[in-house]
Structure 1
Amino acid sequence: MPIVYNKNIEDHSALAIWKIEETEEELFAGLQLKQHELDLIASFNNGKRLLHWLSTRLLLRTMLNTKDYIDCQFDEDGKPYLVNSEYHISLSHSYDYAAVMISKDFACGVDIELIKHKIKSIKHKFLSDVELAQKQIGDNTEGLYVAWCAKEAIYKWHGKKGLEFKQHIHIKPFKLKPEGCLNALVELPTGTRELAVNYFKTKDGYMLGYVLSTPD
C-alpha cells in the first residue's frame, strides 16, 4: 500500500494519504468486512466508488495499526465514526488518492481534490463576493481549490447538516503558497468560531486541506 504522505500533527493525531494502485481483490484481502458492509458495497454502481471505499478503510486500518475488526459507521448527519473507539476520524478521496485523518483529542476534517479549471464555473455557489474579491482566490484556480478544501474540511469537522459553505464559512485573506495555513470564521449554532486550516498542493496536481480543533 503506497502511503505517499504520513504526518503526526499533534499527540495522538495524524494525517495520511494513500495512492490507490491496488486492485479490488488486493484491497479486499486486507480488510475484515461484515455482511452489512458487503451489502453496502454491492450497491455501488461503479468501480471507482468501490476502490475509494475500500482504500479509505484500509488506510484507516493501517493508521490505527490493529488486527481487530474496525467498525466504521456514519451517524444521522453522515459523519463517519468508529464504534467502541475514542478516535475521531475524517475520510476523503479523489480520483487516485484516499486521505484519512484520525485524532484522540480533537474533532477533525480533511478534504482532497484533483485540481480542475471547471471549479471557476461554480465559484459563486460556495464563495461570497467578499471572498471572491480576494486576489488570491478570485479567478485563481489553485486559490479556489484552497478555499473549497478549507470549507469542506470545516464542514466535516463540524459534522452536522445545515452548515452552508457560502453563508456560514468565511475565508479570511491569506497568502497563497504551495503549502500554507489560513483562518476562517465559522458561524455555528453555538456562536462564531475562528479555525485554522492547513493546506498543501501535491506535485501531481491535487489540493488537500485539513482542520483539527476541539468540537464546537
Structure 2
Amino acid sequence: MPLYKTINVNKHTKVFVWKIEESFEELSKGISLTERSENRLLSMKSELHRRGFLSVRHLLIEAGYTDFDLYYNGNGKPHLTDGKHISITHSFTFSALIISDNEVGIDIEMNREKIKIIQHKFVNFERGFIHKDDDYIEQLTVIWGAKESLYKIFPHGGLTFKNDIDINSFQIADKKTTGYIKVEGWDKNYDIRFEQIDGFTLVYAIDPSKND
C-alpha cells in the first residue's frame, strides 16, 4: 500500500509511516540504490528486513529524497545531504522516518508480551510511575521506544538505556512526555510523542527549544 500516515509535528518536523504489505518485488519497483545500499540489501538474510529496508526508501521518496541523499557516519547514524536531521525505524510490518531541521529520533515497536520479560534491562527511574491500571505492555513499549529515540539522537553512541536515559511520568492517554539524556557534557531534555498504530507503538523525540 502507499504511505500509511503523515504527521506534521511542527513547522520544522514531519513523520512518515509506511505499512509494509507489498512483496519484495513490488517494493523494488522504481527504487534506485547506492552501491552501499545494494550491498546492505544483499547481505540481509531475512525477507522481512529486506522489505523493511525498501519501504524506508519509499518513505524517502515521499519526503522528497532518494537513497542517494542518505548517508551514514562512523557510528551508523543516518544523515541527509541537505543538512536536515533524519531518523529511521522499522519493525515487522511498519516502517517510519522523521525529518527535521533539528535533532530528532524515532522508533516503532510491536506491542508484545516479551517486553515484560526484558524490562529489567531498560527500566530504572521509570519504575516509580508505571501505572498498574494502565496498559502495562504499552507503557513499557513507550519507555523502550522513547529511550531508543533518544539513543538515536545522541551522536557519540555508548549510552545504556537503563542508566543514561530517563523518561518522565506519563499515561498512555497523554500521548506525550519528556525524556532526558543524563551523561556528562550532554544536559538536554527532549519532548517525547507517542501513539498506537495497529498494535504497534510509534515514539519520537524532538528538541523542545525549537518546537514552534
| TM-score, with structure 1 as normaliser | 0.88
The CA deviation string for residues 139-187 of structure 1, in whole angstroms up to 9 with x for no partner, is 811110110111111111224311111111112222331x511112221
Per-residue deviation at 1:36? 2.9
| Paired residues for 1:15-164 under 5 Å | 15-64=15-64, 66=65, 70-82=68-80, 84-103=81-100, 105-128=101-124, 130-136=125-131, 140-164=136-160
Which residue identity is paired with 2:107? D
Structure 1's 134 and 41: CA in aligned 2 closer, same or farther, altered over 3 A? same
Bigger mean CA deviation after superposition, 19-28 or 86-95: 19-28
In structure 2, C-alpha distance between the alignment counterparts of 1:211 and 1:110, rounded to whole Å: 6
The CA deviation string for residues 75-120 of structure 1, in whole angstroms up to 9 with x for no partner, is 11111112x31221110011111101111x2011010000001101
2:206 matched residue in structure 1: 212
- Contact 2:139–2:171 (CA<8 Å) still a contact in 1? no
In structure 1, C-alpha distance between the alignment counterparts of 2:191 and 2:12, rounded to whole Å: 19
Structure 1's 63 and 23: CA in aligned 2 closer, same or farther, altered over 3 A? same
1:181 matched residue in structure 2: 176
Percentage of matched positions with identical amino acids: 32
Corresponding residue SS for 1:70: helix
In structure 1, C-alpha distance between the alignment counterparts of 2:40 and 2:195, rounded to whole Å: 33
Q: Does 1:5 align with 2:5?
A: yes
Which residue identity is paired with 2:105? G
| TM-score, with structure 2 as normaliser | 0.90
- Contact 1:61–1:70 (CA<8 Å) still a contact in 2? no
Structure 1's 33 and 146: CA in aligned 2 closer, same or farther, altered over 3 A? same
User: Could you list the runs of 5+ residues in structure 2 that have no partner in the other structure?
Assistant: none
User: Could you list the runs of 5+ residues in structure 1 that have no partner in the other structure?
Assistant: none
Corresponding residue SS for 1:49: helix
In structure 1, C-alpha distance between the alignment counterparts of 2:5 and 2:24, rounded to whole Å: 22
In structure 2, C-alpha distance between the alignment counterparts of 1:106 and 1:206, rounded to whole Å: 25
In structure 1, C-alpha distance between the alignment counterparts of 2:83 and 2:105, rounded to whole Å: 16
1:194 matched residue in structure 2: 189
| Aligned positions, number | 208
Per-residue deviation at 1:133? 2.9
- Contact 2:60–2:67 (CA<8 Å) still a contact in 1? no
In structure 2, C-alpha distance between the alignment counterparts of 1:69 and 1:118, rounded to whole Å: 34
Structure 1 segments of 4 or more deviating over 4 A?
A: none
2:167 matched residue in structure 1: 171
- Contact 1:79–1:160 (CA<8 Å) still a contact in 2? no
